Amino acid sequence: MRFLVASLIVICALAIQANAYPADQYDECILTAKANPVVANVPESSIEDFCDCALTEILDKGNDQKSSAQTCVKKTLN
């Protein structure tokens, strides 16, 4: 019984995070953001965080695009 509980804990700890949004939309978001001159000096990791946040808010949670983008800009690009 202890082995089973320990195994379940290890499996849960090592589980890979899955996103509901398609990878191609994530890649497109990053490319679009990089093409925007306003974010020319923003680190790539911040752009990636923004795209992950925005796509999660819009596609996974069903929030509208404008407010999701504003929320994610405040969270990731400031």
Q: What is the pLDDT averaged over residues 37-65? A: 90
Alpha-carbon distance of 16 to 13, in angstroms, equals: 9
- Percent of the chain past pLDDT 70, that is, above it, reads 76
Per the prediction, the chain carries an average pLDDT of: 83
Kindly report whether the global pTM for this prediction surpasses the value 0.95.
no
Written as six digits, the tokens of 43 are 């680190």
Q: What share of the chain is helix, strand, coil (3-state, %, to 5)?
A: 75, 0, 25
How high is the pLDDT of residue 25?
Answer: 92
